[in-house]
C-alpha cells in the first residue's frame, strides 16, 4: 500500500508508465473462473498479483532505489526487457483444446489488461500453458499427455510431476482452490460505509490540521523575519569590529617600523666614518676564494668525468660477466647431460655386446648342426632345407637334432597318408597356404597400424595423466587431512582401466581403528558415513574448483549427532575463510549449540498454507520462546525442591 501511494505521488519522475500492483491492473473476463485463476496465480500470498512492472530499465532502477532501498519495502519489481512472443502464446487453439481434452480455455485467455502485464505473467508463471474448465474432464488423459504440468477442473487444481525411478511415470497432486479475495467484484456494504465514515472523519481532522498549520506558519514567518533582521544587525556589528581590528593592526605595524628605523639610525650614528681599508681587505679575500673555488670546480669536473667512465666500464664488465656465467651454466648443464647419456650408452653397449657374444655362440652351434644335417639331401630337399635354415636365422631355434628328425618323420608320414587318401590335398594345401600368407600380411599391416595408434595414445596420455595424478593427489591430501581431524582416515585415487571410459575417482575411507581403508560404496558404509565422506570430499575440492557459490542440501540428514557437529564445524571454518566462495547449507533441522561465527548468517524460511498474512519481528518470537521456557521450568524446580 505504501509503494502504491508513493507511486501515485511521484509518477511525474518516470519516463514511462509503472504498472502495479498487477491485481489493480488486470480484470477477469468471466468471474466464474475467479477461484481457479487466483489460486493458480498464488492466491492471497502471491507475489505475482502484488508485483510492479516497469517498461524501461531507467524507471526500474529509480523505482527500486526509492521504494526498496530508501523506504525498505519488500515487494516484487520486474522489468521484462525482451519477452519471447513464442513463449506467451497458447500451445494450441481453444477449439483443439476443447475437442482433444474437453477443457474450456487457457488461463491467459481469461485475463484482460495491458499487453505487457499479460505477457509478463505468461513469461513468469506460464499461464498460457494452463488449461481450465468448469465441467467434468478426464484428468488422467491430461496428465498422461505430457503437455500440461498444471490444470484446473471445477474447484480442483492439478499438478503433474514426472519421476524416473523404477519404471517411471507421472505423479499427480490435487488440492482444492482457494476462495477468491481479489478477482471477484464483491463489495461489503457495511465495510464500505465504515470506510466512508472514516474518510469523512479524517477529512474534518485534515481541515483542522490545515488551520493549525496555517497559524503556525504565520507565526513562523514573523519569527523568521525578525531573525533575518537580527542577523543583519549582527553582520554590521561584526564588520565594524573587523574594521577596528584592522586599523589597530596597521597602527601597531607602523609603530614597529618607526622603532626599527630609529634603531638603525642610532647604529649608523655610532659606526666608524672610514671603512675603506676593511672593504679592500674583504675584496682581496673574496678574489682569493673565487680563484680557489674555480680551481676546485675544474678538479671536480675531471673527477666526475673519470667516475662516469668507470661506471660505464663497470656496467659493460657486469654484462660480460652475466653472459659468461650464462654460457658457463649452459656448458656445465650440457656436459652433465652428455656425461649421463654417455654412461647410459656405455652400459647399454656392454649389455648388447654380452648378449651378442651369447647369441653368436648359439647361432654358430645351430649353424654347425644344420650344416651337418643338410649334407646328404637332394636338390629339392636342399631348397626346403635352405628355406628352413633362413627361417632359423631370422627367428631362432630351440629344438635339438633328434627332436627335429622325429618331427620330420612325422610330417612325412602325414604327407604320405594325406596323399593316399586325398590326391588333391597338395593343391588345397597350396591354396590355403596362399590365403594364410595373404591374411598374415593383412595382420602384420593392421598390427603395425595398431602399434602406431597405441604410440599416439601413449604420447597424448603422457601429457594429461601426470597432471591428473597430481591434481587427484592434492585432493587426496586435503581429504585425508579433513578425515584425520575427526579421528578417521581416507584417500582419493584414480581408478585406471584398459578402457579410458571406465576410468574414475575412487574414495577409500576408514572410520574405525581395527579396519583397513575400504572403497566408498552404497552398500559397505552406512548412510551417515557416506554423507560425512561426501561433504569432506566436496570441501577438499573448494580450493581447486572456482565457483561463485556452493549449495549443499540436507547433507546432515543421515548423520548421528557426533558426526553432524564435527562436519558442521568443518563447513563453517572452511566456508568462512577470506576469499572463499559463498556457501549455502540447506536443512530442515539443526542440532542445538552448534559451532557458529560472525561471518555466517542463518535464514529461517517459513513456508506453508496457513502462514499469517504478516510475520512479527524475530525479537517477539524469541521473547515468547524464552518466556515459554522459563514458565515450563518453574513447576519442575518447585517439584524438585
The pLDDT assigned to 420 comes to 61
pLDDT in tens, 565-587: 888 888 888 788 877 888 888 88
Of 405 and 74, more confident: 74
What is the average pLDDT score of the chain? 80
Percent of the chain at pLDDT > 90 equals: 0
pLDDT in tens, 614-630: 777 778 878 888 887 76
Phi, psi of 172 (to 5 degrees): -110, 125
Q: Are 53 and 117 in contact (CB under 8 A)?
A: yes
Phi, psi of 490 (to 5 degrees): -175, 165
Q: Are 38 and 178 in contact (CB under 8 A)?
A: yes
User: CA 418, CA 416: separation in Å to the nearest integer?
Assistant: 5
Block residue for cell numbers 527500486: 64
Q: What's the pTM? A: 0.32
pLDDT in tens, 278-295: 777 777 888 888 888 888
Cα–Cα distances (Å) from 336 to 322, 323, 324, 333, 348, in that order, read 21, 20, 18, 5, 18
User: CA 107, CA 40: separation in Å to the nearest integer?
Assistant: 9
pLDDT in tens, 135-180: 888 888 888 888 888 889 888 888 888 766 656 667 888 888 888 7
The pLDDT assigned to 164 comes to 64
User: CA 409, CA 536: separation in Å to the nearest integer?
Assistant: 74
Cα–Cα distances (Å) from 422 to 230, 410, 416, in that order, read 145, 18, 10
Q: Are 37 and 184 in contact (CB under 8 A)?
A: no
Which of 461, 460, 454, 493 is CA-nearest to residue 476? 493
Q: Which CATH number fits domain 438-601: 3.40.640.10, 3.60.20.10, 3.30.980.10, 3.40.50.300?
A: 3.40.50.300
Of 612 and 13, more confident: 13
Coil, strand or helix at 561: helix
Residue 641 pLDDT > 60, yes or no?
no
Cα–Cα distances (Å) from 495 to 470, 492, 499, 506, in that order, read 14, 10, 11, 6
pLDDT band, residue 359 (cuts 50/70/90) = confident
Q: Are 60 and 67 in contact (CB under 8 A)?
A: no
User: CA 67, CA 493: separation in Å to the nearest integer?
Assistant: 55
pLDDT in tens, 234-246: 888 888 888 888 8
Residue 38 pLDDT > 60, yes or no?
yes
Helix/strand/coil percentages in the chain, nearest 5: 65, 10, 25
Which of 98, 106, 155 is CA-nearest to residue 129? 106
Amino acid at each position: 500500500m505504501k509503494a502504491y501511494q508513493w507511486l501515485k505521488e511521484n509518477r511525474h519522475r518516470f519516463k514511462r508508465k509503472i504498472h502495479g500492483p498487477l491485481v489493480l491492473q488486470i480484470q477477469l473476463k468471466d468471474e466464474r473462473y475467479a477461484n481457479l485463476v487466483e489460486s493458480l496465480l498464488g492466491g492471497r500470498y502471491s507475489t505475482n498479483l502484488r508485483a510492479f512492472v516497469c517498461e524501461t530499465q531507467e524507471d526500474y532502477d529509480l523505482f527500486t532505489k526509492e521504494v526498496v532501498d530508501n523506504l525498505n519495502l519488500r515487494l516484487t519489481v520486474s522489468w521484462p526487457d525482451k519477452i519471447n512472443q513464442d513463449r506467451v502464446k497458447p500451445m494450441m487453439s481453444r477449439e483443439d483444446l476443447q475437442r482433444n481434452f474437453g477443457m474450456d480455455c487457457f488461463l491467459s485467455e481469461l485475463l484482460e489488461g495491458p499487453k505487457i502485464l499479460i505477457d509478463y505473467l505468461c513469461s513468469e508463471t506460464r499461464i498460457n500453458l494452463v488449461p481450465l474448465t468448469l465441467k467434468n474432464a478426464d484428468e488422467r488423459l491430461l496428465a498422461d499427455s505430457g503437455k500440461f504440468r498444471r490444470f484446473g477442473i471445477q474447484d480442483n487444481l492439478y499438478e503433474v510431476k514426472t519421476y524416473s525411478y523404477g519404471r517411471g511415470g507421472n505423479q499427480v497432486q490435487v488440492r482444492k482452490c482457494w476462495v477468491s479475495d481479489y478477482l471477484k467484484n464483491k463489495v461489503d456494504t457495511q465495510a464500505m460505509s465504515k470506510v466512508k465514515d472514516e474518510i469523512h472523519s479524517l477529512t474534518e481532522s485534515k481541515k483542522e490540521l490545515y488551520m493549525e498549520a496555517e497559524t503556525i506558519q504565520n507565526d513562523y514567518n514573523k519569527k523568521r523575519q525578525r531573525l533575518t533582521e537580527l542577523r543583519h544587525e549582527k553582520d554590521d556589528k561584526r564588520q565594524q569590529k573587523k574594521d577596528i581590528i584592522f586599523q589597530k593592526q596597521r597602527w601597531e605595524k607602523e609603530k614597529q617600523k618607526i622603532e626599527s628605523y630609529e634603531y638603525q639610525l642610532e647604529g649608523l650614528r655610532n659606526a666608524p666614518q672610514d671603512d675603506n681599508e676593511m672593504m679592500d681587505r674583504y675584496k682581496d679575500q673574496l678574489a682569493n676564494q673565487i680563484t680557489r673555488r674555480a680551481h676546485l670546480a675544474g678538479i671536480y669536473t675531471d673527477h666526475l668525468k673519470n667516475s662516469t667512465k668507470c661506471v660505464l666500464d663497470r656496467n659493460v664488465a657486469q654484462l660480460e660477466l652475466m653472459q659468461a656465467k650464462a654460457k658457463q651454466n649452459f656448458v656445465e648443464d650440457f656436459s652433465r647431460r652428455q656425461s649421463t647419456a654417455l654412461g647410459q650408452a656405455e652400459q647399454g653397449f656392454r649389455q648388447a655386446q654380452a648378449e651378442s657374444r651369447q647369441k653368436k655362440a648359439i647361432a654358430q652351434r645351430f649353424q654347425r648342426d644344420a650344416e651337418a644335417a643338410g649334407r646328404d639331401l637332394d636338390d629339392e630337399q636342399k631348397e626346403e632345407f635352405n628355406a628352413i635354415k633362413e627361417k632359423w636365422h631370422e627367428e631362432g631355434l630351440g629344438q635339438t637334432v633328434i627332436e627335429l628328425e622325429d618331427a620330420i618323420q612325422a610330417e612325412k608320414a602325414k604327407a604320405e597318408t594325406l596323399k593316399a587318401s586325398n590326391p588333391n590335398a597338395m593343391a588345397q594345401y597350396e591354396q590355403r597356404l596362399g590365403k594364410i600368407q595373404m591374411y598374415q600380411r593383412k595382420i602384420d599391416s593392421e598390427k603395425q597400424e595398431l602399434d602406431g595408434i597405441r604410440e599416439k595414445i601413449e604420447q597424448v596420455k603422457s601429457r594429461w595423466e601426470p597432471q591428473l595424478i597430481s591434481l587427484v593427489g592434492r585432493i587426496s591430501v586435503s581429504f585425508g587431512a579433513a578425515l584425520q581431524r575427526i579421528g578417521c582416515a581416507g584417500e582419493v585415487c584414480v581408478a585406471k582401466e584398459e578402457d579410458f571410459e571406465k576410468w574414475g575417482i575412487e574414495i577409500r575411507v576408514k572410520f574405525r581403528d581395527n579396519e583397513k581403508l575400504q572403497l566408498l560404496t552404497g552398500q559397505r558404509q552406512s548412510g551417515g558415513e557416506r554423507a560425512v565422506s561426501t561433504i569432506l570430499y566436496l570441501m577438499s575440492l573448494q580450493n581447486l574448483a572456482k565457483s561463485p557459490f556452493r549449495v549443499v542440501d540436507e547433507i546432515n540428514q543421515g548423520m548421528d549427532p557426533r558426526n553432524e557437529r564435527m562436519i558442521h564445524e568443518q563447513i563453517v571454518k572452511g566456508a568462512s575463510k577470506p576469499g572463499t566462495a559463498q556457501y549455502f547449507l540447506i536443512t530442515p533441522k539443526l542440532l542445538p549449540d552448534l559451532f557458529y561465527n560472525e561471518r555466517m548468517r542463518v535464514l529461517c524460511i517459513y513456508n506453508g498454507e496457513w502462514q499469517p498474512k504478516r510475520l512479527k519481528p524475530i525479537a517477539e518470537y524469541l521473547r515468547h520462546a524464552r518466556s515459554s521456557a522459563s514458565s515450563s521450568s518453574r513447576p519442575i524446580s518447585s517439584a524438585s525442591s
